[in-house]
Structure formats: C-alpha cells, structure tokens
Amino acid sequence: MLERTKNKYTEARVYNSRMAFAPRPRFDWKLRTRTLALGERTLVMAIVNLTPDSFSGDGQATTAGLAAAIAAIDGGADIVDLGAESTRPGSQPLTPDQEQLRLLPVLEGLLRERPKAIVSVDTYHAATAQKAIRAGAEIINDVSGLLWDEQMPSAVAFGGCGLVLMHTRGRPQDWRSLPALGGEEVVPLVLEGLRERIAVAQTAGIARASIVVDPGFGFGKMGQENFALLAGLQQLGELGYPVLAGVSRKSFLGEAVRRVQPEGLPIAEARRTATIAANVAAVLNGAHILRVHEVQAAREAAAVADAVKASDKWRVISGK
C-alpha cells in the first residue's frame, strides 16, 4: 500500500511538472536609443489609433489622439503604439502621405510633452517609418512582417530601431476569402512564416537583438484558428526571440463570448472581459509584451499572470 502511494505521488509530481506554464526567457530588446529588459515582467504596449475607421471604434483625430497617448504613458504603459491606418478586414489602404499627416503631429507632440516616452509606430510603409524614426520613434511595428514594402527592411536597418515582426496571411481585403486552416496547421504555418521574415530581416542587417516576433492574431486567421494559435503560443519559443501578443478586442474573442452576453453591447465593452482572459492566457503561454487598448486592465491582468508564473516556476523546481 505504501509503495502504491509513493508511485501515485511520483506520478503526480511528473504530471505537475509537465503542466508547468511556458518558460519566458529574458532578453534585452535593443531600440533606437535605449534597451528594454524583457521577461522579468510583462510589458504593456498601449494602442493609440489615429484612424477614423478603427475596427473597435476607438479611432481619434490629432488632438484627441495626442491626449490618449499622453494618458497611456501617464497611466503606466511601457510603450505607446501609434497607428494611422486601419487593418481591419476589408479596409482600404492609405498612401504614405495620408498616413503621415495623421501620425507625425501626434508623434512629435507626444515626445514634446513626454520626452522619455517609448514610442512605436504601426506602419508597413518604409517612407513613414523613415520619417517616424527621424522624429524620435524607437520601434517600428510592421504588421506585414517586412512584406508589403520592399524598402522597409533597409529603412529599419538604417534607422537602428526596434522591430516588431508580425506574421500575416494575405492582406486585409483577402482575409474573408482565405481557405480555412485546421487547428493543427496554424502554429506550424506561423512558425514557418516568421522564420522566413526573420531571415529577410537579418539579410537586411537588422540586429537580432532588435527583433520581437508577433504571431498576428486575426491577421489572416479566422475564428477558432486564433484559439489554436493562443493555445500553442509557447511553441514560438523555438524561434529564440521575444514574443508580443496582440489579442485586444479581436473578433474571435467576441465570437467566443457572444452567446453568454446581453445583446447590443458596443465592441469595447463586449470584448473587455474576454480580452483580459486572453491576455492572461498569452502571458502564461510565454508572451513578453501585450499590445492593448486598456492599459490599466492589462497591467492588472499581467501582474496576476506574472505572479502565477513565478509561483509555478518555484513549484516545478521544488517538485511540489
């Protein structure tokens, strides 16, 4: 009887160690003028949309956009991500000039008001990236993974800034017509695509230490495919780069909770709790950075997830 009890205890310890949450290696992310430590705690990147047609209805003009960016910094965001072109499904692209008219005044105003702010610019246009870097942006967040503008790799390399390298599958106008993916296909597809884009970045001379990868939730992945990606997020650790997760207010979260909600809620409210849950799942599965609309909610969710990961690490090491 005693031996059987010991065996069950040993089996339980082995099972528990296998159930440990994804490890999160530490990195020093090299930006244009400074370095960010990644992995000790989850960093929060605040989304500031300068678009009139944002999918979640939070697009803002210059004055309001600047106020939102300042509020994000003052509210504890580690990074502010300014975007002036919508990438919702079916959206129409802007010219670089149109994008810059929306973006640059806010970027310049933010750095004038908060000189120490770390600013990321969400663009796939090399011309916009070049002007943003000259204006003080530390990071370029390219949703195309250097794919939609052949000049972008050299622009980022020359600018010496940080790069968020996202995986996307097709362009926004194509997403609704893409063939469905099986759950087992999603993560291998993302891994393969990111490896290809990393190779392009390295060939262009972008420093390895400057790159963070983003699996691109919602970017050519529909519905349940995104949950397969979230569940398998820890596999991105194979790439050897820090991971950013941008699940905030995405449509797949809305689809998952719609049947348990009252009708008629605006998107921001309808997807708020689901976003918090998905952010926690992303951190437990290895994300270093969360890209979010609501800074305070994300900071609190990350604090809890970080505490769970810290305790989980102790449990596995101690065998308890």
Give per-residue pLDDT as tens, 104-143: 999 999 999 999 999 999 999 999 999 999 999 999 999 9
The total domain count for the chain is 1
Catalytic residue among 41, 291, 299, 309: 291
Catalytic residue among 102, 169, 221, 250: 250
Considering the domain boundaries, does residue 42 fall inside one? yes
Considering the domain boundaries, does residue 9 fall inside one? no
Structure confidence at residue 55 (pLDDT) = 45
Largest interatomic CA distance in the chain: 77
Dihedral sign, CA of 89, 65, 246, 99? positive
Considering the domain boundaries, does residue 22 fall inside one? no
Tell me the CATH number at 190: 3.20.20.20
Considering the domain boundaries, does residue 179 fall inside one? yes
Structure confidence at residue 51 (pLDDT) = 82
pLDDT < 50 stretches in the chain: 1-2, 4-6, 8-18, 53-59, 316
Considering the domain boundaries, does residue 129 fall inside one? yes
Residues 278 and 257: their CA atoms lie apart, in Å, by 12
The tokens for 291 are 């890209």
**32 catalytically annotated:** no
Residues 289 and 41: their CA atoms lie apart, in Å, by 9
**250 catalytically annotated:** yes
Residue 105 CB neighbour total at 10 angstroms? 17
Considering the domain boundaries, does residue 289 fall inside one? yes
Considering the domain boundaries, does residue 150 fall inside one? yes
Structure confidence at residue 314 (pLDDT) = 54
Considering the domain boundaries, does residue 312 fall inside one? yes
> What is the residue range of 194's domain?
29-318
Structure confidence at residue 16 (pLDDT) = 45
Residue 101 CB neighbour total at 10 angstroms? 14
